[in-house]
Chains A and B, each alone.
Chain A
Amino acid sequence: MNYDILVIGSGIGGMEAALKLGDMGYRVLLVEKEPSIGGKMILLSKVFPTLDCASCISTPKMAAAAHHPNVQVMVYTEVKEIKKNGSGTFQARLRKKPTFVDPALCTGCQQCETACTVAVPDQFNFGLVARRAAYIAFPQAVPKKAVIERAGTSPCSFACPAGIRAHGYVSLVRSGKYEEACRLILESAPFPGSLGRACYARCEQECTRAGLEGPVAIRQIKRFVADYYYGAHPEPEDAPPIAPSGKKVAVIGAGPAGLSAAFHLAKKGHAVEVFEAAPLPGGMLRYAIPAYRIPREVLDRDIKNVTTLGVKINQGKRVTDLAGLKDKGFDAVFIATGTPRGRKMKVEGEDLAGVVNALDFLRDVNAGRVSLQGKTVLVVGGGNVAIDAARTAMRLGAARVTVQYRRSRAQMPAHDWEIEAAGREGVVFEYLAAPVRFLGENGKLAEVESVQMELSEPAADGRRIPVSVVGTERKRPADLVVIAVGLEPETEYFGDQLAVNADKTIQVNPATLQTSIPFVFAGGDVVTGPSSIARAVGHGRRAAFFIDRYLRGEDLAGAEVEFDCRLPVVSKEEVLKRQESYRDLPPVSKKEILREKPGDFTEVELPLTEEEARSSAGRCLDCGVCAECRQCVATCPAGAINLAAKEAEKEVEVGSVIISTGLRLFPAGGKPQYGYGRFKNVLDAMQMDRLLAPTRPYNTVLRPSDGKIPNNIAYVLCTGSRDATVGNPLCSRVCCMYSLKQAQLLTGVLPLADVTVYYIDIRAFGKGYEEFYEQAKGMGVYFVKGRISWIEEKEDGNLLLTYEDIENGGKLSRAEHDLVVLSVGFLPAPEVRGLFSAEELAVDEFGYIREVEEDVNPGKTSIAGVFAAGSVSGARDIPDSILHAGAAAAQAAAYVERIRGKK
């Protein structure tokens, strides 16, 4: 046996049982699912009938439990399953949830809490205030160690092919930490400026807010961040020097994949040289995407993030000999040559002068060699490259630019906003049309013959193939045809060195990006075919990770878990379920300026203002809770934070089990006629207890709607108790008394306030309770017998209570109060269900654990050796819970003695 007794749940009952068993000399394992032991009692203000401070009663027990030599405390741990062994002992499987904070290093200084950029409702203050995602449960927490709440990886961050923590930088922007936001992006990718403008933004497609009023403008926020940062830092910031590894890496191709790989490899201390065939680095970012989308100075600044690390870029240098690189002392090679060649249409006349490939066209424009003044241009294709070509042609002075696409608008791969903007600039779109022939004079294009297309019936794969409609051929004059029907890699010169696929892409291990030659890796479009910038950047990062491992002689297989630190993605449905409703926060509209004159390559998209960026970021729903903004990591003076921590499972053998998981509050919204959740000045009693507690959130009692000090407070007893309409006919035992307690405390805190208690029966049944009731009456608390039927809200936030005034003629009466406290009852805690896999733990008709011999063996359950302590078998007040826990402990100890005797 690892432990004599397993105690599940560390509320007052669990602690009492654990401590007493520990004192008896038994080895106890005390398991708690929250980050601190203490249960609900530690959150209370004072406790009846002695009006002791709840902290004063709880803290010594908490400290004693944490330090007892025979008690082992495991917090943030769930019991997954318990099985009974033949010998009468139990096998328990525990799941230790990662706190992402090393408890051995954490000093509880709370600096992470201050730095954290995510605020969520504080469950330990019953939603009255917010807490951070990095937090310490409450000031008296034991252990006083921070926890980072992570529900998973947020859908935006999970979706990013570049591995950028979108949620993180959005959250930082929300907090006004713009530079930190950019630095976070720079941890994953060197191109915040370019990505902020030209990324396809998978993040926004996955944004949970997209299912409400529209996604958070994540890409534009990134652009804002990049512009802000580059404004402050025209040159890269000085970084601490990196110890050289002594290894050399050659990168072929200075596009997004190649430069990203170079960036990450250089950060690991490797000497990186980039070989680029074109005169300038940037690849597609420079030669395909027009300057009105990515201004060249932004791209240049992006690239500086790479070169500042000492990466050498050899421009105008085409490298094809891989073995030669090895001979020159490079230990590894990364091929990222992209898809530099436009696909042919394979129609007659494609070789005529005046029929050009889009990539060549854009490249020439970027080299400044083209004028289209007064010309008629036809662009063929429907992707973003086609739109770029068309809008560029407009800017070069073309008289008429037509985009011909063989499918319909719905199938067009280019982004809607690009199509619309192009249309506004004068580009004409022809859908379901395609050229069949280019006709020339003297080898030069003169006319284009096009044909109408129609979509076939959907094939087996659902795709509708465009087919030409016979007899619809039509000719038109054209000065220039730009063909934008696809791109492909140029890998012929590697063909005899490497394994290359039929579509000319390079064969790699998809996880490690290693090619058929061990020291050669490849990534980006040359591997995937035409893709996206973000994907290329992601490949560069991935390649760098595995090349680094390769260079250090480490195993590549199985290292994926270290590369991909994402948690499982958070379900959007779960996120939306966290709140009952959402405020309508429409997204900022996209604004573009149109081309003003020929040759105007000014950036078309307007930046977000700071206000827009922050309010956009404020729309984030914090799906994963923790945003991975890494501010805690940067701040923690102890270096205790490890976001890569994984959960751990543990199996223990124990002699006996005590279940003391307590109960849950009746959700006050379950009585809709009382308006909880709709009327701001209707609180539940747990919230009022927090308002009265020493660690209270507002440091005073005020009403939520306007912060006014209330002076006429009503208590509505039996909310969710003794009420068959909500399925709980039981009396919750403590609500009368805690209401009396709060009423007494309120008369102390607010001497001028009236407190009225609406009740059915005042159940002051315990030792000293009746006297406590008399004391409340003596202090001037009013008592009205009558159940509240419904509550209405007035304009000033006051509340009208309708009730049957039983002791005064039974009239239906109304009373006005400025604050209403619902004395909510209890429901059984759901945790106990499914705890045992083979035996059945019997529960009563309400879901409380059934005590099979409640009269002579209180706490004994249907499974021999398993005992219930405290409210898990029925609502109990604190003194009764403590006695009940003592009873469970005595029987658990007796059970352990018995099975020991048998052995």
Chain B
Amino acid sequence: MSTLKIGVYICHCGGNISHYVDVEEVRAAVAGEPGVVVAKTAMFTCSDATQQEIIADIREHNLEGLVVASCSPKLHLFTFRETARRAGLNPYQYTQVNLREQCSWAHRNNRRAATEKAVRLVRAGIARTNLTVPLEPFKIETVPAVLVVGAGVAGLRAAVGMADLGMNVYLLEKEAQPGGWVNRPGKMYPAGRVGKEIIAQLLAEVQERERITLFTGAEIVEKSGSVGNFQVKVRVGGRRRQEISLNVGAVIVATGFDVYRPAACEYGYGFTGVVTLPEYWDLLAAANGNLIYRRKEIKDVVYIYCVGSRQDPEKENAHSYCSRYCCSAAVYAALQTAEINPQIRQYHLYRDMRTYGKSELLFTRAREQGVRFLKFAGDNPPRVEEQAGGRLQVTVCDLLTYGEEVEIRADLVVLVTGMVPRENEQLVKVLKLPLGKDGFFNEIHPKLRPVETVVDGVFICGAAQGPKDYPESVASALAAVTQSAALLKKGYVELEPLVATVDPERCRWCGECAAVCPYAAIEKGQYLYRQVAWVNEAVCKGCGGCAPVCPGQAIDLRGYTDAQIKAMIDGLLKGGL
């Protein structure tokens, strides 16, 4: 077997690997593998210093292949490809072996066996590397335009942000009016501004910018193309229903959230006088001197927190997450209530008061104003009953007064409802957006790539990604602007060359491959006078789904060819230490 000159680096990961795997033994065991000319261990291979060392080694030994046995390629594949590139080695002749997630963390109690497994994994990585060939990424010119889906506060601000960076923006709103949940008459924390005015300000900014086109009553129906150059079909509503095609480089999804709708009788929902928090905001906005509900003056208000949030995860379809914004929003509503009429008695029944950060000051102020706070346990929630005469009675076991059962008569019960993911089936289908366990759109990584999704070029922001208050939604919208601008302003994107290839000599076009391709990347093509499968390399994700279904073994995956996979299996089976 022909070999390349290969450098192998085995990472301690600061102990994450070396506490459970004898990395020195792994190094010794693989140092004599075919092709290996450098074999070293390092405390943190990803550290700049070790990267420099690798670069020096590649140059000194004219290495033709690189193997780093460290963590998941999700974390550092690109790191070390870049290291290889800086040293003048083709980045696709790099292999990352995952010794952390797939070995040390999984086998913490058996150092011998973990070490042996590590050796086998590294051997497989070396075997694959020996069969790599230099590959070049595909360069695709990017379209300096972006599609923003959703014209709530996040989408509006994202549109303005993109336009300010010289991008054309198509802003889509499903409803007839832009503005989303913020577009309401009440004041909002933390700025104390009226929601409608915030939206009006942003809309004015949108209108000032010629680069932005706003479509209302509009929905995305189809998307094709790839990162940097998407073709999107949009159905624009209104009387003259029509479909238009847009060409954009990226998509920002800012479709927001929905308010939790309590089930019938959940905390008395359905009784007269039991309202949700957004309903209460409208009441506050309409108040003039006194707080009136159904022509009756309100004197006693009870708020029940965590309605639709922090639900028992054991229950079906539970919203077990915290909705983040509601504690501060409810406390802010209490302050507004006290401002309208300080005589109104307010009782807040909460679980944990999550007025984080500077919102803590709202909580302090509310207590100073005489607002009463009672704490209940999650497994012993308050009961709401309707009494004769229409008054409401709330019974709660208050942990702050040593578990005393307290009965409160109320004119109004405000259910502090949380945020739930919006129904977005169509959008999810078209954009292939991933959902998290909580039902919100899922980012790739909350810290490394918080507004990116697994679909390249499709970004998420605002409460569509998870509960946020509106300034936080705006911040994440601008982060999505930054991320998409970083993608589009360069003028081109580089796509992975690790895609499927068809050997036309072997292909007899049966269509099996096209049928399984989840990305519609395989089409019928022409070779000599025959019909063969043709792979659209810009669309192919390199998932490899087509390769095993081909009856004629005509499809191979670059970077993971059949020959490479076989060699890796041989490496794994070669024997232990």
Contacts and interface: CB of A to CB of B under 8 A. Distances in A.
B113 interface: no
A66 B79 CA distance: 13
Given A807-B399, A890-B482, A894-B161, A694 B475 contact: no
Contacts of A59: 44, 46-48, 79
Contact of B198 (A730, A761, A770, A856): A856
B1 interface: no
B308 to A, nearest CB: 13
B406 interface: no
Contacts of B222: none
Nearest to B486: A23
B479 interface: yes
Given A854-B191, A855-B471, A886 B157 contact: no
Interface string A9-29: 000100000001101110000
Interface string B389-411: 00000000001111100000000
A455 interface: no
A495 interface: no
A693 B43 CA distance: 13
A448 B171 CA distance: 113
Interface in B291-329: 309-310, 313, 320-322, 324, 327
Nearest to B466: A767
Contacts of A55: 14, 44, 46
A758 to B, nearest CB: 14
Contacts of A693: 14
A858 B483 contact: no
Interface string B405-437: 000000000000000000000000000000011
A694 B19 CA distance: 10
A60 B165 contact: no
A841 to B, nearest CB: 18
A21 B12 CA distance: 33
A765 B161 contact: no
Contacts of B161: 890-891, 894
Nearest to B323: A765
B24 interface: no
B357 A140 contact: no
Contact of B446 (A23, A50, A810, A884): A50
Interface in A55-103: 55-57, 59-64, 66-67
A47 interface: yes
Given A730-B360, A882-B450, A890-B165, A144 B49 contact: yes
A588 to B, nearest CB: 43
B321 A771 contact: yes
Contact of A139 (B47, B309, B489): B47
B190 interface: yes
Interface string B16-40: 1000000000000000000000000
B440 A25 contact: no
Residue among A20, A785, A806, A886 with the most chain B CB within 10 A? Answer: A886
A683 interface: no
A108 B49 contact: yes
B555 to A, nearest CB: 33
B481 interface: yes
Interface stretch (B61-69, B241-249, B347-355): B347-355
Interface in A849-903: 853-859, 874-876, 878-880, 882-887, 889-891, 893-894, 897-898
A763 interface: yes
Contact of B360 (A722, A855, A887): A722
B503 interface: no
Contacts of B476: 883, 886-887
A878 B447 contact: yes
B475 A770 contact: no
Contacts of A853: 191
Interface string A722-742: 100000011111000000000
B447 A730 contact: no
Nearest to A764: B322
Given A729-B364, A858-B478, A886-B451, A142 B48 contact: yes
B59 interface: no
Nearest to A22: B486
A768 interface: yes
B447 A887 contact: no
B140 interface: no
Interface string B359-380: 1110010000000000000000
Nearest to A811: B402
B478 A891 contact: yes
A726 B467 CA distance: 32
A795 B49 CA distance: 46
B240 interface: no
Nearest to B353: A761
Given A24-B165, A807-B399, A893-B165, A62 B48 contact: yes
Interface residues of A, number: 82
A889 B482 contact: yes
Contacts of A49: 446
Contacts of B321: 767-768, 770-771
B79 A63 contact: yes
A84 to B, nearest CB: 20
A767 B356 contact: no
A60 B70 CA distance: 13
Contacts of A695: 14
A235 interface: no
A144 B445 CA distance: 27
Interface in A1-50: 12, 20-21, 23-25, 47, 49-50
Interface in A705-736: 722, 729-733
Given A20-B482, A855-B198, A140 B447 contact: no
A769 interface: yes
Contacts of B71: 56
B358 A874 contact: yes
B86 A882 contact: no
B288 to A, nearest CB: 26
Given A53-B16, A56-B46, A63-B48, A767 B446 contact: yes
Contact of A785 (B359, B399, B477): B399
A560 interface: no
A762 interface: yes
B472 A729 contact: no
A846 to B, nearest CB: 8
A52 interface: yes
B472 A883 contact: yes
A106 to B, nearest CB: 11
A809 interface: yes
Nearest to A881: B447
A881 B327 CA distance: 21
Given A60-B79, A893-B165, A887 B474 contact: yes
A891 B165 CA distance: 9
Given A693-B14, A856-B201, A887-B477, 13 more contacts: A20-B485, A53-B13, A56-B75, A60-B46, A108-B49, A139-B43, A144-B47, A694-B15, A771-B321, A886-B475, A887-B476, A893-B165, A893-B482
4 cross-chain pairs, A with B, having the tightest CB-CB distances, nearest first: A694-B14, A886-B479, A23-B486, A887-B478
Interface of B: 13-16, 43-44, 46-49, 51-52, 71, 75-76, 78-79, 82, 86, 153, 157, 161, 164-166, 188, 190-191, 193, 198, 201-202, 309-310, 313, 320-322, 324, 327, 352-361, 364, 399-403, 436-438, 440, 445-448, 450-451, 465-467, 470-472, 474-483, 485-487, 489-490
Interface of A: 12, 20-21, 23-25, 47, 49-50, 52-53, 55-57, 59-64, 66-67, 108, 139-144, 693-695, 722, 729-733, 761-771, 774, 785, 806-810, 853-859, 874-876, 878-880, 882-887, 889-891, 893-894, 897-898
20 contacts: A24-B485, A56-B13, A59-B47, A62-B48, A139-B47, A142-B48, A761-B353, A762-B352, A763-B352, A767-B440, A810-B401, A855-B474, A859-B475, A880-B472, A882-B447, A884-B475, A884-B479, A890-B478, A890-B485, A893-B485
